Amino acid sequence: MEAVTQGETFCLEPLVAGERAKLFPAARFDGLDCLAATFRRHAYAPHQHESYVMGVIEAGCETFRVRGERHYARPGQITFVNPLETHDGEPYGPGYSYRMTYPEVGLIREVAASLSGRAMIGTPFFPQPLVEDAEGAALFAAAHRAIEDGDDLMAGEEMLLRFYARCLAHHADLAVRSVGAEGGPVARAREVFEARYDEDLSLADLARLTGLPRHHLIRAFRRETGLTPHAYLVDVRVRRARERLRRGEMPGDVAAATGFCDQPHLTRAFKARFGVTPGAFRAAHAA
C-alpha cells in the first residue's frame, strides 16, 4: 500500500454539511502538518503515512482499526499510529472533533535522542495505539491551538516538543536520562532573552546559540530556573512592559515594543503576574 499525505486522504471522500477540516503547517517545524477537523460521516479508507500520527479527540468518538484491532478514541486519550501502519477512521455515533499532527520520523528521533542522551537512536515505537493520558491530551490541545492561532510561535513550539517528549517517556519503550547541570548554556539563553526580548525568537535559534538541542534546552532551562524558556521570555517581556508603563507609555505601544503580538496578549500576561491590567498599572503611576 502506498503511503499518502493527510491532504490526499480528503480527496478520497468529499466532506458533507456540518463537517470541517483545516490542515495547516506548524511554522517552527519544517514539514509538520496539523489537522483540526469535525466529521459526522467522513470515513477514511485504509491508508498509511510515512510519518507518525499523534493527536487527541476533543469531542465525540472516533473508531479506527490498526494492527488488526478496532479501537474507540474519546476525549482524555492520545492516539498513536506508527509510520507505515495501515489504519482507517470513522465516526462512532453522531461524530467527533479532533486535533492531529503528523511528525516526521526525524523529529521524533530528535526528541528521543535528547531524552535518552544517545545521538544514534532507532525509530521509536508506540506499542499502544490508544492510551489514557488526560494531562498529555490537554498539553497537546493547547499546543495545537497555539500553533493554529499563530499569535505566540514559541509557545506552540515549546508545548508541542514537551508533548512529544512526554509521549516518548510515558508511552514508548525509551529509557530517559536525567538532565544534568547546563549552567553555561542556560545563562547564555537568559542573556539572549534579556537583550532580544522584543524579537520573534525560536527554540531553534536558542539551540544554535547555546549548543543544546531544543528539547534538552527546555529541560535544562527548567531545571536551572524553575521556568521553561517560553515562560521566562514572557516574564522578561512583562518586566520591560512594566518599566514603560511606569513612564506613562500607552499599553498598545508598550505591547508592540516588548514583543507581544497585541495589547490583549500583554494584558493577559501582565494581569497573570501583577493582578492588575497594564492600563490600571499605568493609571496608578500617573496619579
| Size (the chain), residues | 287
Mean pLDDT of the chain: 93
Going by pLDDT thresholds of 50, 70 and 90, the confidence category of residue 16 is confident
Supply the pLDDT for residue 49.
Answer: 95
Which residue in this structure is represented by grid cell 493609571?
A: 283
* Interior angle at CA 145, CA 143 and CA 146, nearest 5: 65
* pLDDT tens, residue by residue, 54-84: 999 999 999 999 999 999 999 999 999 999 9
118-122 average pLDDT score: 77
Place of cell 493527536: 55
- Residue 58 has a pLDDT of 97
Distance CA(41)–CA(18), nearest Å, equals: 9
Task: For residues 122 and 187, give the distance between their C-alpha atoms in angstroms, rounded to a whole number.
Answer: 32
What is the tens place of the pLDDT at every residue in 157-212?
999 999 999 999 999 988 888 877 788 999 999 999 999 999 999 999 999 999 99
* pLDDT at residue 13 in the model: 60
Q: What is the mean pLDDT of residues 100-119?
A: 92
Per residue in 87-103, pLDDT tens? Answer: 999 999 999 999 999 99
pLDDT at res. 4: 62
Contact by Cβ (8 Å): 6, 51: no
**pLDDT score recorded for residue 286:** 83
The DSSP letter of residue 179 is P
The full set of domains in the chain, from first to last, is: 6-170 (2.60.120.10), 178-287 (1.10.10.60)
Residue 33, pLDDT score: 95
List pLDDT tens digits, range 202-251. Answer: 999 999 999 999 999 999 999 999 999 999 999 999 999 999 999 999 99
Q: Is the pTM of this model over 0.95?
A: no
On the question of pLDDT at 6 being above 70, the answer is no
